[in-house]
Structure 1
Amino acid sequence: MFKSRGDIVYKCTVRLLEDTEILECEFHPSFKGKSLLEHVCQQLNLTESDYFGLRYVDASGQRHWLHMAKLILKQVKDASPILFSFRVKFYPPNPLLLKEDVTRFQIYLQLKRDLLHGRLYCTANEAAMLGALIIQIELGDYDSTIHIGNYVSEMRLLLRQTDAIEGRIQELHREPLEGTPIGGGGVKGMSTEEAERTFLKIACQLDTYGVDPHPVKDHRGNQLYLGINHSGILTFQGSRKTNHFKWSEVHKINFEGRMFIVHLNYPEKKHTVGFKCPSGAACRHVWCCAIEQMLFFTLSSSSEACVYSGGGLFSWGTKFKYVGRTEREILERDGLLAPREPQEEGSSAGGKRKASSVPATPSTPMTGDFGYSSLPRSTHSAPLEESGDGAAHLALACCERAPADKPAVCPSEYGMRDSFEHSSSESGVTSQTGPSQGEEWSRPPTAAPPPPAPRPFSLVRAFVPSFLFVWLSLGMFALLLFETDVRFLRAVKHKPEMVALRRYYYAPLKEYVKRKVVELF
């Protein structure tokens, strides 16, 4: 008889955003990913848990996000020991709108990690300001009796932390605040909360905010890095942004084998770009990340959002079901957006529009015909708070772009050319190809975008179920023929061919199966 697994408990380790902090957790085989994430958030006193997730690495070195609706054990069955990393999964477009201080602090810890690992790329002057704010948050105001010598060098803040930039961080830490937090001067006199909010305000306006770079190649083999965040899909060569495909321009996302494909709709044409991933598993991971980011930041409601992709003549399709609240639902719950007015019953847009904002994008949704044109990019998010004197807009730039009123730190001393190469190694996928000039792999544009089509026909999907049904039917007929004494089958049963079939094939197979079952139990 089967053994009961109800009393089995599995242990796992969860690494928090501070590398020195871990949680030892236990889960039963019946537990799903959502229960473990909720437990971790309870330990951290986090109520705004929708922005966070648990990441793990499989036996082949491929990273994955723990799926909330699937069993934990099935997802990490080959892992030993079972190790998760608690990370920010959906970076809020404006972290200053978060209700809880503890949530903003976790976002700050994630961005501090991103800055250290080179994922949060910025100019040297911006990096110096961010470093000074970290020092202010963790050490407080500059004190000449305590902060002696090059005390900044004792803290790891940046991927390429040179003497020049450490000196600039110390200057900003010593200089008093002038006017608004970003208006000028240093950081001395800022409270911890004010420094943290200033850090978040600067970081969230960088182009690489929320970007976890995925190594890909174009059709010429040039190394690129693909980033996905609340604003859309971005591409980088080295650390230079080359393309930005906004969610409002994305019509469809799918993948075929190792090729990640983005279908774009522009007013004048339809365009398709593709990027080659290091492996099929890496490509599927990129697709899942893109789908989740797009649905989280564009859907009005998450109910029954399910998409397909990856199917072909000789490949299995992939089904992905989105679980959890969307950004709009969170903002409505917190009172930052007015709730949507319910549609009148029987109206032309009513009825079966539970997931009315599900894009036709990631191939085809399960229910209904949904267009993407009704999904403007990040319309759910409120604008950033403005400082009194009008803070300057801080965006991703080359190191040469230093503000006119600040001395520029020597770019050669603080080069972040290899920042994405460094951070991408964390995913277990590395590339030896250096950044070079190139363009994305593209297909010829067609005349006009077609209307949303039904799920494409797949020979494999049609053949495999039919094949299984036929063999199951033959097996049931064999059991009925050889194990029963039905009157209308007696004539068939005693035919010479059937007698030989039973003696030489059916009986030996039956004995083999019976012996294996006895050995098993």
Structure 2
Amino acid sequence: MFKSRGDIVYKCTVRLLEDTEILECEFHPSYKGKYLLEYVCQQLNLTETDYFGLRYVDAGGQRHWLHMAKLILKQVKDASPILFSFRVKFYPPNPLLLKEDVTRFQIYLQLKRDLLHGRLYCTSNEAAMLGALIIQIELGDYDPSIHVGNYVTEMRLLLRQTDAIEARIQELHREPVELTPGGGGGVKGMTTQEAERMFVKIACQLDTYGVDPHPVKDHRGNQLYLGINHSGILTFQGSRKTHHFKWSEVQKINFEGRMFIVHLNYPEKKHTVGFKCPSGAACRHVWCCAIEQMLFFTLPSSSDASVYSGGGLFSWGTKFKYVGRTEREILERDGLLAPRDHQDEGSSTGGKRKASSVPATPSTPMTGDFGYSSLPRSTHSAPLEESSAAGEPCNGGCLLSGPAVDIALACCGDHLHPPDDRPCTTEYGLRDSFEHSSSESGVTHVSHTTVGGAGMGTGPASGPGAGDDWGRVSTGALPPAPRPFSLIRAFVPSFLFVWASLAIAALLVFETDWAPFRDLKRRPEILSLRRHYYAPLKEYLRRKIVELF
């Protein structure tokens, strides 16, 4: 922080998608988050800014997305130094529909980063092809005079880069595209743009595309990872994707304390599923991420979109105001989707819908045709019937029964939410640890830190509403999880109650001739109180009321 022309100006560092690239920025105390994001995007020549965001880590180690409509300084007041990470916040279902090449390049950089840190799960063959495409983009066509030895080892491409995969990457780099029938083979002969588009095309069809895993536990205490992207909410356990709750099936989302709760609405019945987060702050972060993703990909318009969660006699609850355009508005602006008909907006099935209600967080997702469908999921997923037939237990976010269900879930431990770039367990290299970049927890280091935890991956998929396994689960209202006691939340209502009681007592004593108060009104203390305080205050209020009317 330093003085500039008599005003206080704050310095911050923004780490870009390449760890070696940073931006030094300045902002005034009155600047909001939108200013900083627009400044970074301007430096990168990005015009499609709605898909990106700035992430930071607070003093307690909890990650946050910088809110665009709130003051920057208020959000990072305890941070020193002030460090942000520029990241893709909303992964588009089909990145190839983006208008600008520079936007697609930033998406490529993010996916390349996800692959390196293990968040982008894929099979060994897919990992080898993605690695070969990166080599083709960065080194060009294979040249035996230049690319000698095991040159792939010098480049960090994957979380677990084995010798077998490196050999396969080199093989694909040497083979021309047309080597096998059907356009298979290697990557030799591809231009940089063609290789980049192929990389993005493969990556966006994977189950973990756009997924940032959040550690949670189900009602049995099993360690899970919760992922949220354009298609909905996914759960992973070990190397298996256990459930996929689509946005069209999500009625509302809320949280109570450390409990993240999803209310699902199917034609035959309603279900409630809950997950226990490591802390209240982590739970609120998961809720905010889920709400933003759902609103961005489901609402037809972002105007007046606000949601609520929690609330009660001794708590304020949480309100979240959505800021920015939705995906549908972006597509309409870019001419990729016809504007909505005003007649449709007034209909009961497809109008502009708010996602606000009290006390929970209902959101009525917009499930109309966006002009294109989401890309197909990875082919190594199996329907729920297969897992049920095999007798596999319900491992990922199982449905909670009614009030009889014990929701005192096992504690998730005291470990902090990993700041960034946590890998998934991959088929080509199982790893029961988290690695994350220091990009959100430090400025000078670019090495990786290992944090304890379990990995995640993709395997047999299961979806709610299908198969007998789900039909055997009873449904009911989820009992609210106990909210941690807050002194401030308890003090304010108590303070107001005491003063209201005193005001009523004063009116009864000074303004009525009730027999029980006659002796009290003659006491010297009460007479002095009335003459010096009550009477002047009463006269002052009377004058103000007369002036007002």
TM-score range for the pair, normalised by the shorter chain length: 0.7 to 0.9
Taking the TM superposition and a 5 Å limit, the aligned residue runs for 1:217-228 are: 217-228=217-228
1:496 aligned partner: 525
2:30 aligned partner: 30
Q: CA deviation at 1:417?
A: 3.2
2: CA distance, partners of 1:333 / 1:278: 40
1:265 aligned partner: 265
Gaps of 5+ in 1: 386-391, 399-411, 450-459, 479-490, 504-521
State whether residues 252 and 362 of structure 1, in contact with CA within 8 Å, keep that contact through their aligned partners in structure 2: no
State whether residues 493 and 499 of structure 1, in contact with CA within 8 Å, keep that contact through their aligned partners in structure 2: no
State whether residues 88 and 110 of structure 1, in contact with CA within 8 Å, keep that contact through their aligned partners in structure 2: yes
Q: Does residue 206 of structure 2 align to residue 199 of structure 1?
A: no
State whether residues 216 and 225 of structure 1, in contact with CA within 8 Å, keep that contact through their aligned partners in structure 2: yes
- C-alpha change, 1:292 and 1:343, in structure 2 (3 Å) is same
- Report the aligned-residue RMSD: 4.2
2: CA distance, partners of 1:320 / 1:349: 25
State whether residues 315 and 490 of structure 2, in contact with CA within 8 Å, keep that contact through their aligned partners in structure 1: no
State whether residues 16 and 23 of structure 2, in contact with CA within 8 Å, keep that contact through their aligned partners in structure 1: yes
State whether residues 224 and 236 of structure 1, in contact with CA within 8 Å, keep that contact through their aligned partners in structure 2: yes
Partner SS for 1:215:
strand
1:380 aligned partner: 370
- C-alpha change, 1:360 and 1:236, in structure 2 (3 Å) is farther
> Residues 5-57 of structure 1, C-alpha deviation per residue, up to 9 Å, x if partnerless?
97110000000001000000000000000010000000000000000000000
- C-alpha change, 1:426 and 1:278, in structure 2 (3 Å) is farther
Taking the TM superposition and a 5 Å limit, the aligned residue runs for 1:39-438 are: 39-178=39-178, 183-312=183-312, 314-343=314-343, 355-356=352-353, 358=355, 363-364=360-361, 371-372=364-365, 375-376=366-367, 379-380=369-370, 382-383=372-373, 394-395=378-379, 415-418=428-431, 421-422=434-435, 432=453
Q: Does residue 7 of structure 2 align to residue 16 of structure 1?
A: no
Partner SS for 2:19:
coil
- C-alpha change, 1:255 and 1:185, in structure 2 (3 Å) is same
State whether residues 297 and 326 of structure 2, in contact with CA within 8 Å, keep that contact through their aligned partners in structure 1: yes
State whether residues 85 and 439 of structure 2, in contact with CA within 8 Å, keep that contact through their aligned partners in structure 1: no
1:453 aligned partner: none
Partner SS for 1:113:
helix
1:468 aligned partner: 496
Partner SS for 2:294:
helix
State whether residues 174 and 187 of structure 1, in contact with CA within 8 Å, keep that contact through their aligned partners in structure 2: yes
One-letter identity of the residue aligned with 1:382: Y
1: CA distance, partners of 2:55 / 2:370: 27
2: CA distance, partners of 1:224 / 1:189: 42
TM-score using structure 1 length? 0.76
TM-score using structure 2 length? 0.72
1:457 aligned partner: none
Gaps of 5+ in 2: 383-424, 442-449, 465-469, 479-487, 507-519, 533-549
1: CA distance, partners of 2:294 / 2:238: 25
2: CA distance, partners of 1:413 / 1:258: 29
One-letter identity of the residue aligned with 1:106: Q
